[in-house]
Structure 1
Amino acid sequence: MRVPKSVLLVSTALTMTAAPAMAQDVAPPPPPAAPQDDAAQQQGGLNDIIVTARKRQETVQDVPVAVTAISAEQIATRDVTSVEKITAIAPQFSVGRASNGSGAQLTLRGIGSSSTSIGIEQSVAVVVDGAYYGQGRVINEGFFDLARVEVLKGPQALFFGKNATAGVISITTADPTAAFEGMVKGGYEIKSQQYRLEGYLSGPLTDTLGFRIAARYTKMDGGYYRNEADDITYTELDAATGDLTSHTATPAARKAPGEEEFLTRATLKWEPTDNLTVSLKGSFDQSTVNNSSWNYVAYRCGNGETSQLNGYACGKDFVTHQNNMPADIAASYPYAKSDGSLYNKYRSAGGTLNVTYDADLLQISSVTNYQWNNNRWTCACDFQSGGSENGIGPTWATENSSWKAFSQELRALTQFDGPFNMMVGLLYQKTRRDFDQFVLTGGVSNSDAPEGYQYVTTAKNSFTKGETMAVFGQMTYKILPDLELAGGVRYTDETKNSFFTQPYNNPLVLGIFRDQNDPDGLGEVTARQHFTNWSPEATLTWKPTPDLMIYGAYKTAYKSGGFSNGGINSKLSTDPTADLTFDPEKAEGFEIGFKSTLLDRQLRFNVTAFSYKYKNLQVDFFNSPIFAFQTLTADARTKGVEAEFEFAPNGVPGLDIHGSINYDKATYIDFPLAPCYAGQTPAEGCNLAGNSRQDLTGAPLSVAPRWTGNLGIGYEMSVGSANKLGFNIDSKYSGSYLASGFGNPLSRQSKYVTLDAGIRFGAENDNWQVTLIGKNLTNRFYVTGVVDGPSTGGGTGTAAGVKADQLGFGTLPRTVMVEVTKRF
């Protein structure tokens, strides 16, 4: 896609400044006191946390939004280098890493999006430097050299582009510095045998132009998970000749994921006048792992202690059983490595242009962004070794999928001294997804197939072109000096044009899959979808004192419908278009809360209560009777109370105690014809619509614990005249939850506690530092999403039903990293 030069030249973008979220160098002024008390009053205490939750700089205590802010210092001390690692600091947020489909299940306050469909954009939007990244593949991005991270909870329609029905993860990368400086950091993680080297160089090129170049390289000699598979030998039938051939699949890499990653970012920031700021950021990311489904664990078996697929024991441990594609097949298989080894290769590139013109009465800004990513993999798509116990040939697949998007956002914000102010804006985005997948079912081949397709059971080809226009605005009115009413609305008009076909099917499966030559004329599916929406919101904010804010908000949000590019056109389905398309998701509800700074600015204490209803929550599942993926919609509600605190006592500089406790009840409120889970019997509720449906009204959503919380302490002290010593200990608690969105009791994850800790010693002026960082020190295994084990379970809707094995998306085990940092 070509971007007109005129667009790039006239685009202006809001600069997300690099001021750290925790303003460590600006302590709040002490209250009036006797001169002899001044020094004591300035010891310790809270510092202001700057956020941009309303696309302008405000302290976290002044913004009427439930937000968890993570400063640059916390990012470094707690090794927040990926979206997954944010969950340790924001316990209401959960990330499930998936191998295929969208690549992730991001969940916030119990609301998330299924991982099995690449066409579903996440309900938790990720925004980087003001630009929207809605694809689940963003989980493969490594994040480094950051200024801050903000977790905005609940619907965020007005200020953050689109699709943020559950919330936003807003990431701001670091900007150039006023003086020349650089940093080099080397690290080694013991469990995965991972080496890490990163650094940056930053400073002025002229009086008005600054630059920053940052890069990171990591390489694992080992991994987090252990693969204990054995060789698999199976027999394949040639559809053309009837010949039988044996193939051997060797075990995949014993230690996974064996990641190798390179990231780099370059920034130019130009400030020719006090009113104009221009920032241009370009980035590139490449990562490769030795198994796309490296964290899939059979943690509970459907019929006892051993897997129905392969006879291995199921267990809650960091152990998998997966095999490479046979090398003699892989040599001619599309997108497979020549030796058949499993892999996932992710590449991305992007650029964001940010400019702000800030006059006395008017601020004009825009964000111009182009992004591209490509993901290729070979997957052992039974997710556990298959074929040795039940006689079914193993299943592998390869995929090549790409995403690209161009967006332009313009804003104008008035800054009058009077009671009225307003903001208006416009967003345009153009996107394209291309998708190719090749599935191998180990029992069949066809020597008469076109070149490259001999061992392909079914192939998929799909694309979706999208175009979005949105207009949004907000007015604020100060009813009284300490009472403000804000109201706004976003109008969205979105079009998606999609195509799907299965260009080749092995003759032995033509009774299951339609291909492009299917005689019933349904072999190619096209869809033109057009969606429009109005999303209003209103907020009333009252500040009776400078240290207390009380607010109430009515919010709505919208996530467009779409097309499941990776679905199946099943011969058993009567309406393939309905199988592959799905409706928009909408959120509506209320939130009230207060934010307080108490005890002479030693204690920050905030409480939020919320209730949101979700209409047409997008839920993806595999309909085994017709052998098709379908995205259904259900109504749901999430409601709860969150309380968080931070205590930094005066007189004890460097001490910080922080924590939160959160109650959230996330349930379906209308899902009368939900799909049954695999093996569910009529006695267990699978007795509707021909014994293939159940009523899930009132049942919990996926990965939605009722109680979560965290508690931590950090302390930093001077050692001698030139050094300092610091440590932190942080725990996270989660109540139990169902990992399945369909009520499967076998999917239950029990309650758990994780513990992170770190200790660091270095120069008082940060010239050098040695750090030891431990995460999940209790080595607790838990899952943050689940799929049914392929080819396991059966008899759904009958008294003889057998539940499928539960394959969970496991998280990281205990990790311990040593880092050495040098600044110059």
Structure 2
Amino acid sequence: MSSRSICRVLCGSTALSTALLLAGVAHAQGVENATAAETAVQGGVEDIVVTARKREESIQNIPVAVSAFSQAQIDRADLTSVEKIAASTPQLTVGRASNGSGAQISMRGIGSNSTSLGIEQSVAVIVDGAYSGQGRVINEGFFDLARVEVLKGPQALFFGKNATAGVVSLTTADPTDEFEGRVRAGYEFKAEQAVLEGVISGPLSDTFGVRFAIRGSKMWGGYYRNVSEAFDYPTTDFVTGVTTPHEALPTPNNQPREKELLARLTLKWEPTSRLTVNVKGTINYNRNNNNSWNYVAFGCQSGFSTVNPTTECRDDNFVSHMNKFPVALGEETPFGKDDGSLYNYYRAWGLTGQVGYELDNITITSVTNYSRNKNSWACSCAYQAAGVYATEGTTWRSFSNETRALTSFDGPVNLMIGALYQKTKRVFDQNVVFAGVENSAAPAGMRYVAYSKNSETEGETISPFAQVIWDVTDALNFTAGVRYTHETKDSYFVQPYVNPSLTGLFVPNATVAADQTFTNWSPEATIAYKVTPDINVYAAYKTAYKSGGLSNSGIYSGLSTTPDEDFLFDPEKAKGFEVGFKSTLFDRQLRFNVTGYRFKFSNLQVDFFNAPTFAYLTINAGAAISKGIETEFEYAPHGVEGLTLRGTLNYNSSKYRNFLGPCFAGQTIAQGCPSPTGPGGFPLQDLSGKSTSVAPKWTATLGGYYETDIGADTTFGIGADARYSGSYLASAFGNELSHVDSYITFDASAKVGFQGGRWELAVLGKNLTNRQYFLGAHADGPLTGSGTGTAAGISADQIGFGTIPRTVMLQATFNY
């Protein structure tokens, strides 16, 4: 079935379902009005409380485009990672990447592609009020959550810095007023994964509470199947000229065979009714057997891999083709394994302190966070069975404090003022092995290394902000605010070792240093009108800002004419308008919302691997426009207690407005390359009017949940959700080989609760259609693509970040 046909089917069914539901609601309303004196009202849509403006508000009253999940919804759908949250949120996508930033997180087609470690995400992740712009945060599992909020579009005022495209805000659960606990065990059949989780919570005194949550998991299988075969990798010693054969064995058949341990301790102290102190400490451990386990060559000009001509490029079988380091190379490479194994090893810990103090008319809140993570990996970095390997070790640490004060005077005007301070440091080391080079006279650990990289960035941010809140009337509210950002970044990059045979390609010991200062004012204003107590409309002007920087994971290439400029990139800015209609109708049986938006993103930060000059280029697209309409409904009829139906229908157009960008490797003259020659000596193409990466025009969801009593103290619940995405390009540079067809995924769950919910058995199924799709792409496949800017170019293979296949988990829970 074509993309248009699929869209017609799903979108049509959404519209039909909505019409039927409205008719049913009208009928139910009439019945209820006739019998209101005789029967009690049951059911109705859940009123979700959000803190998107740093104060508790109903999701229907807040003038912000936000999708939110309550604690019950999170638990029911097993939303235990940023990727799972994205899979349940229209227009939010998360592509898991192996190197660079570690992820491509996109909202409405705007995001930061993954190949540069120096680019922070345009979609910020906030955990318990503390900002994280690092893509590696997706390696952290999130469980025992109280609330998830996904804010769409620029968010400058309430969520720190660098949220030009949106925010994913996660709030973990606090200690409870009474002692309670939970033990949960699960087994997922596809990955052969066992999961064990425990929570205990309660008061230690009238003023002090504690909550401890821990989760561990282990896979004996995996999501992807490696089918590579052993191949020979000979190396030639630069000193002696002797060639030595080596064998590169396949990686394990099942990948990623992940092991994970997560723990969180929360202490809450309320000595008075005015003061609350909350401290959360977390640790995260995650390890797997291949950092690139989901990388797949899915688009190739001939239909077959360039580096493995007998291997078909496919997008439907969850298969990879990767090999270990030859043993001698693994032993001699920093961060390598003695047996040549591939891996990814992520460790993180953090401490967050939240203090709230209430005066008579002022509420003061402060969030202080210290976090640190380390990530190391060994990679088959052609992402196919070819002789390109790398290892990496990075560390990131951050200290931040955000303090704000909100007034609550009886008059019509109130204020919110505050400031953010953040201090960060990133350390990056990488070693790349390829081209069969060897140097017996090299420093220890560098014998088989082609070149090594080292980089650091120290950053400091001071960012005050303020907002005026004016209740013009009981129904009309106007707010206006601004955030000022002053950010400094002190960075350097150097390639301390290059094999002597490659010094013409990679420049040794040439340091790129950058002492950068960025400043910005980001204003916003919103007017909201309450038509009735259950109908609200609003219009907002928003801006946001993300500072520039230096690409820590770049390449200093001797083929580039401006190698220093390859590393530096300018700030990204967003501005535009959003209008919204939010309604809760028919005695709270129907929630129906519509949002329209248009935002311009100037100097959108993108990263590209330029094969002809063998360099990563961090550049700024001139501008991109994201505009569209989003609709959502939720229906919970009084007449059928326990039933909730929901759906969304979204149109989004996200295109470059003016962007002379690099040609993809192998792009021909007929395909639009070259236009002028750009910085670095590489040819350019005109991408104006072309779609940004992962930007489907149409997305939709349709689903529901039903829970009912089936016996004494026994309940049964069943739920299902379908998600449709239109087609899009995974590449940010217009390569048609990265085309991803439209798709539908289907999730379902069923549970039985016993003894009033004390015991529960559940089955959770995700991606039951078993559809493989790609949520981003490595710029171009290494060692592929030729003839760029000629009439007879051969396009580079497209390597995509594949999603997880069909999974089915059996889960048992005991609550006490």
The TM-score, its normalising length taken from structure 2, stands at 0.94
* Corresponding residue of 1:357: 357
Q: 1:746 aligns to what SS in structure 2?
A: helix
TM-superposed CA distance for 1:72, in Å, is 1.2
**Aligned partners of 1:96, 1:741: CA distance in 2, in Å?**
13
Question: Contact 2:290–2:379 (CA<8 Å) still a contact in 1?
Answer: yes
Q: Does 1:572 align with 2:564?
A: no
Q: Does 1:545 align with 2:537?
A: no
1:650 to 616, 638, 643: 638
TM-superposed CA distance for 1:298, in Å, is 1.1
TM-superposed CA distance for 1:254, in Å, is 0.7
Query: What letter matches 2:631 in structure 1?
Result: A
Question: Contact 2:305–2:797 (CA<8 Å) still a contact in 1?
Answer: no
TM-superposed CA distance for 1:308, in Å, is 3.7
**Aligned partners of 1:94, 1:273: CA distance in 2, in Å?**
43
TM-superposed CA distance for 1:624, in Å, is 2.4
Question: Contact 1:287–1:345 (CA<8 Å) still a contact in 2?
Answer: yes
Question: Contact 1:379–1:397 (CA<8 Å) still a contact in 2?
Answer: yes
Deviation track 1:679-730 (CA, whole Å, cap 9, x = no partner) reads 1110111021248211011110000000011110100000112100000010
% identical equivalent positions: 56
Q: 2:161 aligns to what SS in structure 1?
A: coil
Cα 1:764–1:600 change in 2 (3 A) is farther
1:815 to 790, 794, 807: 807
* Corresponding residue of 1:139: 138
**Aligned partners of 1:349, 1:503: CA distance in 2, in Å?**
30
The 5 Å alignment of 1:432-443 reads 432-443=425-436
Query: What letter matches 2:578 in structure 1?
Result: E
Q: Does 1:790 align with 2:782?
A: yes
**Aligned partners of 1:322, 1:420: CA distance in 2, in Å?**
62
Q: Does 1:559 align with 2:546?
A: yes
**Aligned partners of 1:178, 1:42: CA distance in 2, in Å?**
29
Cα 1:306–1:381 change in 2 (3 A) is closer
TM-superposed CA distance for 1:515, in Å, is 1.2
Q: 2:75 aligns to what SS in structure 1?
A: helix
Deviation track 1:556-610 (CA, whole Å, cap 9, x = no partner) reads 0000001111101111223332111100000000000110001111000000000
Query: What letter matches 2:36 in structure 1?
Result: D
1:640 to 613, 622, 628: 628
Cα 1:325–1:33 change in 2 (3 A) is closer
**Aligned partners of 1:58, 1:154: CA distance in 2, in Å?**
19
Query: What letter matches 1:507 in structure 2?
Result: P
1:670 to 658, 663, 677: 658
Cα 1:815–1:33 change in 2 (3 A) is closer
Q: 1:75 aligns to what SS in structure 2?
A: helix
Q: 1:157 aligns to what SS in structure 2?
A: coil
TM-superposed CA distance for 1:39, in Å, is 7.1
Question: Contact 1:646–1:657 (CA<8 Å) still a contact in 2?
Answer: yes
The 5 Å alignment of 1:314-329 reads 314-316=313-315, 317-329=317-329
The 5 Å alignment of 1:5-24 reads none
RMSD, aligned CA: 1.5
Cα 1:184–1:457 change in 2 (3 A) is same
**Aligned partners of 1:73, 1:194: CA distance in 2, in Å?**
24
Question: Contact 1:497–1:529 (CA<8 Å) still a contact in 2?
Answer: yes
Question: Contact 1:199–1:215 (CA<8 Å) still a contact in 2?
Answer: yes
2:523 to 536, 540, 544: 536
Q: 1:765 aligns to what SS in structure 2?
A: helix
Q: 1:683 aligns to what SS in structure 2?
A: coil
**Aligned partners of 2:544, 2:403: CA distance in 1, in Å?**
20
TM-superposed CA distance for 1:35, in Å, is 12
2:497 to 492, 504, 519: 504
**Aligned partners of 1:544, 1:213: CA distance in 2, in Å?**
45
Q: Does 1:463 align with 2:451?
A: no
Q: 2:233 aligns to what SS in structure 1?
A: strand
Cα 1:190–1:32 change in 2 (3 A) is closer
Question: Contact 1:308–1:805 (CA<8 Å) still a contact in 2?
Answer: no
Deviation track 1:749-782 (CA, whole Å, cap 9, x = no partner) reads 0000000000000126321100000000010010
**Aligned partners of 1:138, 1:114: CA distance in 2, in Å?**
15
**Aligned partners of 1:397, 1:167: CA distance in 2, in Å?**
33
* Corresponding residue of 1:10: none
- Most deviating of 295-304 and 321-330: 295-304
Q: 2:245 aligns to what SS in structure 1?
A: strand
**Aligned partners of 1:647, 1:357: CA distance in 2, in Å?**
38
**Aligned partners of 2:32, 2:667: CA distance in 1, in Å?**
70
The 5 Å alignment of 1:687-706 reads 687-690=674-677, 692-706=683-697
Query: What letter matches 1:562 in structure 2?
Result: G
Query: What letter matches 1:585 in structure 2?
Result: E
The 5 Å alignment of 1:367-386 reads 367-386=367-386
Deviation track 1:781-816 (CA, whole Å, cap 9, x = no partner) reads 100011222111211111110011111100000000
TM-superposed CA distance for 1:91, in Å, is 1.6
Q: 1:682 aligns to what SS in structure 2?
A: coil
1:427 to 400, 420, 437: 420
**Aligned partners of 2:109, 2:275: CA distance in 1, in Å?**
41
TM-superposed CA distance for 1:287, in Å, is 0.4
Question: Contact 2:380–2:388 (CA<8 Å) still a contact in 1?
Answer: yes
* Corresponding residue of 1:484: 477
* Corresponding residue of 2:603: 616
TM-superposed CA distance for 1:358, in Å, is 1.7
Question: Contact 1:432–1:463 (CA<8 Å) still a contact in 2?
Answer: yes
Query: What letter matches 2:49 in structure 1?
Result: I
**Aligned partners of 2:459, 2:161: CA distance in 1, in Å?**
13
Cα 1:34–1:382 change in 2 (3 A) is closer
- Unaligned 5+ segments in structure 2 are 1-28
Cα 1:39–1:194 change in 2 (3 A) is farther
Question: Contact 1:754–1:780 (CA<8 Å) still a contact in 2?
Answer: yes
Q: Does 1:781 align with 2:780?
A: no
Query: What letter matches 2:280 in structure 1?
Result: K
TM-superposed CA distance for 1:33, in Å, is 9.0
Aligned residues: 781
* Corresponding residue of 1:229: 228
Q: 1:550 aligns to what SS in structure 2?
A: strand
Q: 2:329 aligns to what SS in structure 1?
A: helix
The 5 Å alignment of 1:100-179 reads 100-179=99-178
**Aligned partners of 1:288, 1:308: CA distance in 2, in Å?**
29
* Corresponding residue of 2:340: 340
**Aligned partners of 1:133, 1:300: CA distance in 2, in Å?**
33
Question: Contact 1:303–1:803 (CA<8 Å) still a contact in 2?
Answer: no
Question: Contact 2:307–2:384 (CA<8 Å) still a contact in 1?
Answer: no
- Unaligned 5+ segments in structure 1 are 1-29, 387-393, 517-522
Question: Contact 1:298–1:806 (CA<8 Å) still a contact in 2?
Answer: yes
**Aligned partners of 2:214, 2:797: CA distance in 1, in Å?**
42
TM-superposed CA distance for 1:97, in Å, is 0.5
Question: Contact 1:301–1:308 (CA<8 Å) still a contact in 2?
Answer: no
Deviation track 1:303-328 (CA, whole Å, cap 9, x = no partner) reads 23344445311111200000000112
TM-superposed CA distance for 1:275, in Å, is 1.3
Question: Contact 2:264–2:281 (CA<8 Å) still a contact in 1?
Answer: yes
Deviation track 1:418-460 (CA, whole Å, cap 9, x = no partner) reads 1000000011000000000011115111001011111111000
* Corresponding residue of 2:613: 626
TM-superposed CA distance for 1:32, in Å, is 15
Deviation track 1:7-35 (CA, whole Å, cap 9, x = no partner) reads xxxxxxxxxxxxxxxxxxxxxxx999999
**Aligned partners of 1:613, 1:176: CA distance in 2, in Å?**
42
**Aligned partners of 2:64, 2:219: CA distance in 1, in Å?**
40
**Aligned partners of 2:786, 2:78: CA distance in 1, in Å?**
44
Question: Contact 2:335–2:377 (CA<8 Å) still a contact in 1?
Answer: yes
* Corresponding residue of 1:23: none
Query: What letter matches 2:625 in structure 1?
Result: R
TM-superposed CA distance for 1:652, in Å, is 1.1
